[in-house]
Amino acid sequence: MFNIKSRTSFPRIVGGSALALSVIGTLWSAPSFARTINIAETGSTLLYPLFNIWVPAYTHSHPGVRINTQGTGSGTGISEAISGVAQIGASDAYMSNMQVKQNPAILNIPLAISAQTVNYNIPGLNGVHLKLSGPVLAGIYDGQIRYWNAPAITRLNPGVRLPHHLITPIHRTDGSGDTFIFSQYLSFSTPYWNTHTGYGTTISWPAVRGGLGALGNPGMVQSCAQTPYSIAYIGVSFTKEVRRAHLGTALLKNRAGRFLLPTKATVGAAAAQLIAKTPADERISLVFAPGANSYPIINYEYAIVNDHQANPAMASALRAFLSWCVDTQEGNARRFLRQVRFIALPPRISALSRKQIAKIH
């Protein structure tokens, strides 16, 4: 950009020189090339808190870029990235084979690794980490296990005085990556659930007496907090909100039979089991991974992006921002990820994501 202090800095016009006039016209119009790029991001409410940390940090050092973020649910993130309404669709779920076949230009790019907790509001017991398993949760969400002191729950929690009170299961009403990974845990651990209900960002929830629906992770926290004896599945980026609401957090049974909480060690252990199996397009479930120390509900957090953008400037801005996101010295640095309890991409996965980002044009 030119620093023009006064008109005397312009070239002198000699004899009505057309060349000089052309140079002056160029100087006057130069600032118009420094236009702002506006990027729209929408989708996952689990990823939304991280974007709200990332965006101010990135745009502070890249003032020519504006990024608008919205937490609308992973289903919306995927659909709006496909339709072109948004340049970045945030999702906890990867696209299905059918979606990829119908939309071959859409990339699924992991940005970080996240996890999910199962939380409950049982008066007097929210300070206790109850042990729960996939089959027990499937029984609760399909109505076969109705009371907190049902034998299937008491067997997992000897010595805990559980109340004889109806359980209120809460599920997401929006297209949700959290629903995707929670229902995968139920499907992968419970053949009955897999056969009758299955998994997806939206599923046909079994009719359960007293069951509730909620919108987004904020709605799940609020509904659980307001409903005694309820249970909900909530993304770890809302751990602070869960604690402020004084909700209980379950120890979940993994494939090896151990009951674990999500920590950097247990989430990392689960991810490590599947790093080598992650394909080039990076669409893979990390749920119910093998390994004694593997927390059972973890996932890649995806940016769903069209590899063909409207213009070179937008493509360049997207490549730069997403590359920043997966850089361990930048967006994938612990100073950002620890605020939402995510962990950084392993080097091999970061390299795969960079290869995908490079396809954006």
The domain that holds 99 is classified in CATH as 3.40.190.10
The C-alpha atoms of residue 36 and residue 15 are separated, in whole angstroms, by: 38
Instruction: Give the per-residue pLDDT at 34.
Output: 57
Tens-digit pLDDT profile for residues 210-252: 999 999 999 999 999 999 999 999 999 999 999 999 999 999 9
Distance CA 270, CA 288 (A): 8
In a shared domain, residues 180 and 226? yes
- Shared domain for 146 and 247, answered yes or no, is yes
**Are both 193 and 166 inside the same structural domain?**
yes
H or E stretch at 269:
helix 264-274
Range of the domain at 198: 115-274
Same domain membership, residue 107 and residue 53: yes
Residues 267 and 224 occupy one common structural domain? yes
CA 27 – CA 13 distance, rounded (Å) = 14
pTM over 0.85? The answer is yes
Which of 241, 274, 307 finishes a domain? 274
pLDDT per residue of the chain (361 residues) written in tens, 0 to 9: 333 333 333 233 333 334 343 433 433 333 334 589 999 999 999 999 999 999 999 999 999 999 999 999 999 999 999 999 999 999 999 999 999 999 999 999 999 999 999 999 999 999 999 999 999 999 999 999 999 999 999 999 999 999 999 999 999 999 999 999 999 999 999 999 999 999 999 999 999 999 999 999 999 999 999 999 999 999 999 999 999 999 999 999 999 999 999 999 999 999 999 999 999 999 999 999 999 999 999 999 999 999 999 999 999 999 999 999 999 999 999 999 999 999 999 999 999 999 999 999 9
Query: Looking at the domain assignment, is residue 11 inside a domain?
Result: no
Same structural domain, 266 and 348: no
**DSSP letters of 40-68?**
EEEE-TTTHHHHHHHHHHHHHH-TTEEEE
Whether residues 93 and 129 fall in one domain: no
Q: Which of 154, 162, 87 is nearest to 123 (CA)?
A: 162
Cα distance between residue 361 and residue 167, in whole Å: 51
Number of domains in the chain: 2
**Nearest CA among 258, 283, 282 for reference residue 270:** 258
In a domain, 56, yes or no: yes
d(CA 207, CA 169): 10
Please give the single-letter amino acid code of residue 8: T
The verdict on 99 and 143 lying in the same domain is: no
Which residue is associated with the tokens 């079994």? Answer: 206
Residues 125 and 210 in one domain: yes
DSSP β-bridge partners for residue 301:
112
The answer on 345 and 247 residing in a single domain is: no
291 in any annotated domain: no
106-121 and 298-306 strand pairing: antiparallel
**Concatenated DSSP letters of 212-238:** EEESHHHHHHHHHHHSTTEEEEEEGGG
Residue 139 lies in a domain: yes
- For residue 243, being part of any structural domain is answered with yes
132 and 43 housed in the same domain:
no
Looking at the fold, whether 132 and 266 belong to one and the same domain comes out as yes
Contact 289, 272 (CB under 8 A): no
